[in-house]
A and B are shown apart, each in its own frame.
Chain A
C-alpha cells in the first residue's frame, strides 16, 4: 500500500511542480498521438466514406481486411514499420527510424483501420433514401458527401475517440520504432514500461496517472461535443 501511496504523492508533486522532463514526455505523447489521429482521420474518413457508399469488385475482401486491421496487435505494426524504416529497408533512406515521425507513422497504421471501419459503418447506417433525398434536393456529389458526413457526425466522434484511445495507450510500436530515447522519442507509455522495469514504481505511477488524465480529458471534450450535438 505504501508503494502506491508514495507513487501518488510523487505524481502529485511532479504535476504540481511541472517537472520539465515529465512535461516533455507528456507533450510528446500528446503531439504524436494527436498527429497520428488527425492524419488517420483525413485518410480514414475519405476511405471509409468511399468504401461505405460504393459497390466494387473485391469490396468484401477489403472490408474484411479493414476489420482485421482494427484488431492488429501494435507490436506487429511496430515490427512491420521497423522493417520498412530499417537502414537497409525500403524506406531506410528517409532515416526516420527512432524519430517521433516513426512513431506517428506506426500509430497511423494502427488507427487508420479503426477510423476507416467506424466511418464505413456509420455512413452505411444512413438511410439510403436520405441519400436520394439529398440528391433530389439538388446536391452535387461533394455537397452530398458533406451532408452525409454531417448526418453521421455522432458515430464519427466515436471513431475519433476509438482511434485516439488506441494510439495514446499503445506501447509496443512506440517502443520498437521510437526506441524510447530520452528527450527525443520517450513517450508516456514507453516511459512507464521503463520505470516499472527499473523498479521506480513511484515515477511509473505518476506517469500512468498523467496518461489516464490525458485520455480522460480528451474523451471528456469529445463527449461534451457529442452530447451537445445530440441535444441539438
Chain B
C-alpha cells in the first residue's frame, strides 16, 4: 500500500461525476462509485439499464461524456496513459470473441501485444489452459470450438494477463444450463484463488449471489442500491430494486394501524400485520419472499406456528422446477409461494384447490412508496 492509501481508503477504481450520453440520450449517471481492492463487484440490473456502458467506461474502453475515472488515485486522461492502464485490465465479454488461429494463439495474444516473451509466455499460457481444463485444445482452431470451450479460452486469455482488474460483461449469459453451471463453479474457485479485483455485469441474480462480494443494482442509468449480496437481496433499498432482485411478492397497500413497531397494512380486502415503524397513512410496497409463505390445506390440521397472517385462496398456477414448486394462489390478490416438491406432494395440491397461505409479521418488509 502506498502513502496515499494510508490516509484515504484506497480504491482500485473510482468514478466521479460520471455520465454517458449516447445518441442524445443520457444512458448513465453516476455521481460516485468505488471499486475496492480484491472485491467482486456485481453490477446487476434489467436490460438497457446502462450496466455495459458502466463497465466499458470503467474499463477505459468508452470515453464518458462527463466525469473522471481514477485508477489507484490517478486520474485517467487520454493518450499513452490509456494504453498503459488498459494493459492492467482484462475484459471478458458475453461473446467469446476469439480471433482466427489456434487456441494457443488466442490465449497468448494479450501477452504478445504486451511484448511478453519466451519462457514467461509459455509458463503463463500453459498454467491457465490447464486451470480451465482446455490444455488438450491448445492446437485446435479457435473458431471450431463449442460455446463452452470458447468461453474457457476467453477466460484463460484474460487470466493469463494477470490483470489488476478483471471486467466481465454477462460472461456466461450465452451458455446452456449445464455448461454454465460447470463454468461458474470453476470460475468461482479461480476468483477465490487469485483474489483479482473483479467488476462483473450480469442480469442473473444467482450469479451475483454466488460470485459477488458486493452488489450494485443499476436501473435507468442510476445506481439504486449497493451493498453486500445479503443486504441487497434481503433488504432492497426501494420497490424497483425489490422487483428487480425478485424479493418475492410485492403488494401495494397503506399502513392503517401502528402500535409498538407492529403495523397493520390494508392490502385489498386484507389487513396484514408487518413488523415496521412506518406511520399510519404511509403508502407502502409490502415485500414478501416466496419461500416465507407456508401453505396448508384447511381440512388438515395445520402445525402450530407464530404466523400472524393467514390468507385463504385457490391454487391458480403450479410450476415445478427442479426440486422446488412455485405455486400461485389467488387470494383476491395473487400470492406466489415457493415450496419443496416433497411438501407439494404431501399436501396433494391440485389446481383450483383451496389453500391457506400463512406468513409471519416479520416476513413482510414494508418499503415506503414515493
Contacts and interface: CB of A to CB of B under 8 A. Distances in A.
Contacts of A166: none
B116 to A, nearest CB: 10
Given A129-B93, A129-B97, A151-B100, A136 B141 contact: no
Contacts, number: 51
A130 B100 contact: no
B100 A133 contact: no
Contacts of A147: 99
B87 A138 contact: yes
B157 interface: yes
Contacts of B110: 137-138
A133 B97 contact: yes
Interface in B78-117: 83, 86-87, 89-91, 93, 95, 97, 99-101, 109-110, 113-114
Contact of A130 (B56, B91, B97): B97
A127 interface: yes
Given A151-B99, A151-B100, A232-B100, A136 B113 contact: no
A74 to B, nearest CB: 36
B211 interface: no
A178 B312 CA distance: 97
Interface residues of A, number: 18
A151 B114 CA distance: 20
B61 interface: yes
- Of the listed residues A130, A136, A232, the one surrounded by the most CB atoms of chain B closer than 10 A to its CB is A136
Interface size class of B (residues with CB under 8 A): 20 to 34
B59 interface: yes
A143 interface: yes
Contacts of A151: 99-100
Interface in A119-157: 127, 129-130, 132-140, 143, 147, 150-151
A130 B87 CA distance: 17
Contact of B83 (A134, A140, A150): A140
Interface string A104-131: 0000000000000000000000010110
- Of the listed residues A130, A138, A139, A229, the one surrounded by the most CB atoms of chain B closer than 10 A to its CB is A138
B153 interface: no
Given A127-B97, A232-B100, A133 B91 contact: yes
B161 interface: yes
A3 B86 CA distance: 71
A10 to B, nearest CB: 48
Contacts of B157: 137
A51 B57 CA distance: 25
Given A132-B61, A132-B93, A133-B93, A138 B161 contact: yes
A134 B89 CA distance: 12
Nearest to A134: B99
B93 A135 contact: no
B327 to A, nearest CB: 42
A151 B105 CA distance: 13
Given A127-B97, A129-B95, A136 B59 contact: yes
6 contacts: A132-B93, A135-B86, A136-B86, A136-B90, A138-B86, A151-B99
Given A136-B86, A140-B83, 18 more contacts: A129-B93, A129-B95, A129-B97, A130-B97, A132-B93, A133-B91, A133-B93, A133-B97, A134-B99, A136-B59, A137-B109, A137-B110, A137-B113, A137-B157, A138-B87, A139-B113, A143-B113, A232-B101
